[in-house]
A and B are shown apart, each in its own frame.
Chain A
Amino acid sequence: MNQPARGSLLGLENLTTKEISSILQEARKMKRGKVKPVLSGKRVVLLFYESSTRTRVSFEFAAKALGATTALVSASASSIEKGESLIDTGYTVTSLGAQAIVIRHPSSGAPYMLARHVPVPVINAGDGMHEHPSQGLLDAYTILEHKKTLKGLRVAMIGDIFHSRVVRSDVHLLSKFGSKVVLCGPPELVPDISATLAPGVTVTRDLEEALTGTDVVIALRIQKERLAGLQLSLGDYIERYQLRPERLKAAKKDAIVMHPGPIIRGLEVTSEVADGPNSVIREQVRNGVAVRMAILARALA
């Protein structure tokens, strides 16, 4: 059992504001300037135990844009299906020459486990209900393209807080930079103890209260695949919490609407909001590539 290799990105909870700022700054350079092949000749393995569109494609594009070679290992089309353990899979890909591993996994903490056993940087591309640090970073990046600072900003996160790894990463980051985060949804999805996630976080059941005067609205997908055992009526949810244009009026005029995707139109948001003038959802996706380039450069360059 070892410490994770330098350059690993396992979560945002334990990153300093300085480290976060430096990644965001690097991402800005990546987005603006000409990209140098700083990862030329490096080998990156994308280890995906769970389905993904945005995260997988953007990590792959980011790695290739920097000159790295990538190989994708997905659970359903590899020896993982035959019963190879996570750690053995880690040993295998590093023996094959992987110099960094990007991992998406349905079990919270899986990247921590892997990072203790392989000598190369491990980048968490989403672990269970725990964290999704690259998403947290690209969310901050996107907010900062529209708002001067994170300090004092009011951010409302609406919906499935409990099952969301994006929430945990966003909350840790925003709290470190002094934003005021309001978590909103029914108790099944937003337990009272959610307010303990980080300093400056509050919980409300009332959508209007959450949206009033807010600078940023982040909608979240209801994760049907993780709802095991919850008695939640989707009809009631839509009735009380769906983001609609008339409800959004409570927010500041220049409020931005975000969503980490995938969007289920007609459930947590209506199309009018997702495609509306305040929506920056597609910008988020676009920024994902630059942010992930910065993350990979930090790990390997």
Chain B
Amino acid sequence: MTRKESAFMSVNQRLDSKQPPKSLLICGGHVIDPANGVDGPADVFIRDGKIAAVAPKLKEKAERTIEAKGLIVAPGFIDLHVHLREPGQAYKETIATGTAAAAKGGFTSVCAMPNTQPVNDSVETTRWMQSPERGALVNVFPIAAATLGSQGEKLTDFYALREAGAVAVSDDGRPILDDQIMREALEAAKRTGFPVIQHAEDTRVTAGTQMNYGAVSLRLGLRGMPAEAEAAIVRRDIELARKTGAHIHVAHISTAAAVEEVRRGKREGVRVSCEVTPHHFSLTEEAVAGYDTRYKMNPPLRSQEDREAMLMALEDGTIDAIATDHAPHAHHEKMVEFDRAAFDITGLETALGLGISELHEKRGIPLQRVVELLTANPGRILSLGGRGQLSAGAPADVTIFDPKRKWTFDWKESRSKSKNTPFGGWKLTGKAMVSIVGGRLVYEAAK
């Protein structure tokens, strides 16, 4: 165990060794709870791990009180899209380290993609991921594979997976291309009562590609993924969702063309939702110019027009949620030639800061909307036991953040096992101060 890991463990043990307080009062803060239309000064009273009351100047006596003056008190953030790498790739991340990073970033629930080793296509793996032995610091909701081994051929047992705790199905990085299989997946998902999440990429045309297709990829001599490879799958999936009445959720949407498909689908009443990552609303393909592999992602960083379309869609409600696509990779998997490097970046600890800096500060999107994208909306897309809101009786998952706190992200201090992020050294506004999961404090920032 390295020194860094042991320091991290001591934090965990300190948190775990204490029984959660039977009652907790968060007082003096400004509550933003979009699901309940609350945006104003209020106290939050928690009892037995549930939200008991949200109102100004509560008189309840609590075992512990948290002073939240000048801070925003929000429902615990929900990340619809993370890779926790367990089982099978603990050298990149474990459920314990990934959820520790989540807690530090203000996320109290994370939905874990199934591209583990083995692929999470079974009740056993789904249960294993949620077992207390994994040492998760926040709620982990597995997203199971839609097809066995994510091979795109035979559907998994959606009903059994749901009973085991899965909240959706997806073949993530290996999108379902076959129309008939996708249709069957949507029909089965509708019967089961959850969505199919699709990583929209026509991998038949993107083999060997390294970045977005366009003038920049041409100049850099890198093979490019055309925007149409995303839009075509989104279009197909929306058509199938229309025909089946099922819910399709588009993972990490990145192109103007695909966003337009979702906008049209929504207008026409199709059950379609989508998420965007902080990097797709913060960065463009120009960042790839130095062949720095920290900017290598899938979907790739897109053009400025695409980024602009993401911002517009965040404003007008076409995009429902911010999801990180937190994807840890070991140092040696990124420190190679660009076309050999692993795709994607970590993101749990920078999402809130980027959301506030890029969306609220620079773009003027109301803070309430940013919170909605991290709480109420993802909580509505998946059934997560009433999370994403501070309703009485809901699980007491709460994130307290300072919307004005200026800080510099230091990747060396990341709690993730991997450090593959391009945001090291970025000056951000907005930082999680306290994360509470089921009434238990799982993260408290140094004052």
Contacts and interface: CB of A to CB of B under 8 A. Distances in A.
Q: Do A and B interact with each other, yes or no?
A: yes
B337 interface: yes
B337 A110 contact: yes
B208 A85 contact: no
A196 B214 CA distance: 10
B214 A85 contact: no
Contacts of B208: 228-229
B291 A108 contact: yes
Interface stretch (B113-121, B215-223, B306-314, B355-363): B215-223
A193 B303 CA distance: 14
Contact of A131 (B207, B221, B337): B221
A275 to B, nearest CB: 31
B269 interface: no
B290 interface: yes
A72 interface: no
Interface in B210-267: 214-215, 218-222
B207 A85 contact: no
A107 B337 contact: yes
Interface residues of A, number: 26
Interface stretch (A122-130, A147-155, A214-222): A122-130
Contacts of A176: none
A109 B215 contact: no
A234 interface: no
Nearest to A111: B291
Nearest to A196: B215
Nearest to A1: B292
A43 interface: no
Given A85-B332, A108-B291, A228-B208, A113 B218 contact: no
A259 interface: no
A13 B218 CA distance: 13
A168 interface: yes
B339 interface: yes
Contact of A196 (B218, B221, B222, B293): B218
Contacts of A191: 218
Contact of B335 (A87, A109, A131): A87
B340 interface: yes
A109 B220 CA distance: 8
Interface string B287-300: 00011010000000
B160 interface: no
B338 interface: yes
Contact of B221 (A85, A129, A193): A129
A107 B339 contact: yes
A292 interface: no
A112 interface: yes
Nearest to A191: B218
A280 interface: no
Interface string A198-228: 0000000000000000000000000000001
A278 B222 CA distance: 34
A108 B290 contact: no
Nearest to A129: B221
Interface of A: 13, 85-87, 105, 107-110, 112-113, 127-131, 162, 165, 168, 191, 193-194, 196-197, 228-229
Interface of B: 207-208, 214-215, 218-222, 290-291, 293, 332, 335-340
8 contacts: A108-B222, A109-B222, A110-B337, A127-B221, A131-B221, A162-B218, A193-B215, A229-B207
The 3 closest A-B pairs by CB, nearest first: A109-B291, A130-B221, A129-B221
Given A85-B335, A197-B219, 20 more contacts: A86-B337, A107-B338, A108-B338, A108-B339, A109-B337, A110-B291, A110-B337, A112-B291, A113-B293, A113-B336, A113-B337, A128-B222, A128-B339, A130-B220, A165-B221, A168-B219, A168-B221, A196-B218, A196-B219, A197-B218
